[in-house]
Every structure is written in structure tokens, then in C-alpha cells.
Amino acid sequence: MSDQASSLRLQRAQADYPPSFAFIGGEGSGVSTLVGELAASLALRGGRPLLIEHQPGHQQARRLGLPATGTFASLAISLGGINELMVANRYGLNLINLAASSEERTRLSPRLWRRLAHEFASVEADSSVLLIDCPNISDDPAPACIADNLVLVLSPDADSLTQGYASLKRLAADYARRRFNILVNRAQDFEEAQAVFNRLNSVAGDYLSVALRWVGFVPADSTVRKSQTLRRPTVEAFAECEAALAYSQLADMLPRWHAPDQSAPRNSYLEHLLMTTKSLADLTGS
């Protein structure tokens, strides 16, 4: 019976994958915290988010108070399965650790690739949305290249704007990404957040062929740091604080951000990731 159910899930996944949102941003912009809070908020509302961690160090597990799992890179040694990389909390937030360098992904055998992609497709089919905590695109561009939607996270810090613009430029020039959702984090108020967006929009409009869409902001709130000390999501531990309310509002709106660069059906996320990693390695000769 379980084999039959798995087969049915895979058939559904082949026809209809949930939308994926890749979150990118400069160092210090709070990307990992933000994507984890959005995933927790969606889960608390009865959604079925799959939070995908590409960052090293089990950052998401620590922030969310979850036990560390294996990483995607470790499967090359253990020859285990996707279940070794997954953990869930008590209200349905599913976290999967896909941390691995592009070189580590390319070293996996084709047989192992196929098995892992098949297993992941079943997990993906049971999810409503994929939230991707991306690695630095200079080190590993593949996750940001293949996501349906890109969310660039900025903060009022000047370095954040510089790094954000560099990310836009590279993704547009090298990987033909044209649509970006812009979210400002840790702003003092709406006016400051809008000013940050307007500065980026002005520069990008002059030099890049991209479409930027403002999707909202999260106010600076010391409660977020307190919740991290407790290893609990802010939206769970301090649901009435300003940041938690903003996370919840953004999570409610997130499905409306779905506007992929390409309308053609795509493969399962992991299958697409593995194929893209191999293609990029072939192009660069690495």
C-alpha cells in the first residue's frame, strides 16, 4: 500500500510541483532568519512549507530549535537517503538540509542522483511551497538560477545595497533572471524601507534590464534576537511583536508573489538542481 501511495505522489509531482522561492541577499541582511520565520509562519497557519537549507553550519536547525541532520554532501559517503536530511517540528514545518558545494554535488554518482531525485520528488509533492535559503551566488549560483521566484532581501546598511545590486547584475547578466521581489529587512519604519527600495530601483533602472517589485518590509525589532537565543521562531515565541506580525503578513502574501521568469513546466527542484550544477560545471570546466 505504501508503494502505491508513493507512486501516486510521484505521478502528481511530475505533473504539478509547488512554487519555489529563493531568498538571496548580502551578508548581514538577515536572509536566513527571515526565510525561517516565513516558513514557521506558514506552518503555523496550516500550510505545508518545505524549508530548504543550502547554507553550511545547520543555521536553520539552530534558529528553529530542531536537531541537526545529515547534509546533502554527507550522502556521498553514507549513501543514505533524503530522510536522513529531513526534520520536522511539532506544527508541520519541514526542514531539509541540502548543504553541499557544487563540486560535491557533481561528484555524486548518476545512480545516486536518480535515487535521491526520486525520493525528493515525493517530499516535494507533499509540500505547498518551497522556501530556499540560498548560498552566496558567487560560490554556488545554481539554487538561485533555478528557483521559480527570487526574493532579494535588503537592509538599510549601505553594504547591503551594494551587495544586492551585485547579485541582481550577476543573475541578470549570467543567468537571464529578470524578475525580482524586493523585501527590506530591519528597517526603522515604512519610509526608510521605501527609501532603500527606491535607491536600488533607481540604479537598477539605469543599468539593468530587470523588473523589481516591492513586496514589503520587516521592522527592526530586538525581540528577533531574543527568540534566536531561545531557539524558537519569533512568530511562535513572541507572536504579537512587530517583527512577528510583519512575518505573518508577508507569509500570507507570499503565494501572490509567484510570477516565474519561465512559464514552461519544470522538473522537480532537486532533479533540476543536479542537472543545472552539472551543466554549469561543464560550461566552466570545473
Mean pLDDT, residues 254-283: 87
The pLDDT value recorded for residue 12 is 41
The pLDDT value recorded for residue 285 is 62
Strands, sheet with 149-154, edge to edge from the N-terminal-most edge strand: 86-88, 94-97, 49-53, 129-133, 20-25, 149-154, 179-187, 211-219
> Three-state SS for 23?
strand
Q: Compute the Cα dihedral for 140, 146, 152, 153 and give only its sign.
A: negative
Mean pLDDT, residues 9-22: 67
The pLDDT value recorded for residue 263 is 67
CATH class assigned to 18-284 = alpha beta
CB 261, CB 176: distance < 8 Å: yes
Q: Residues with Cβ < 8 Å from 31, sequence gap 6 or more?
A: 23, 24, 25, 133, 134, 153, 185
CA distance 15 to 276: 20
CA distance 20 to 145: 11
H-helix or E-strand spanning residue 50: strand 49-53
pLDDT one-digit tens code per residue, 23-80: 999 988 999 999 999 999 999 999 999 999 999 999 999 999 999 999 999 998 888 8
pLDDT one-digit tens code per residue, 141-200: 999 999 999 999 999 999 999 999 999 999 999 999 999 999 999 999 999 999 999 999
15 pLDDT above the threshold of 60? no
Q: Compute the Cα dihedral for 107, 27, 229, 191 and give only its sign.
A: negative
The pLDDT value recorded for residue 186 is 97
CA distance 208 to 33: 29
* Residue 158 φ/ψ, nearest 5 degrees: -60, -40
pLDDT one-digit tens code per residue, 105-150: 988 888 998 999 999 999 999 999 999 999 999 999 999 999 999 9
Mean pLDDT, residues 248-272: 89
What's the chain's average pLDDT? 91
pTM for the structure as a whole: 0.92
> Three-state SS for 99?
coil
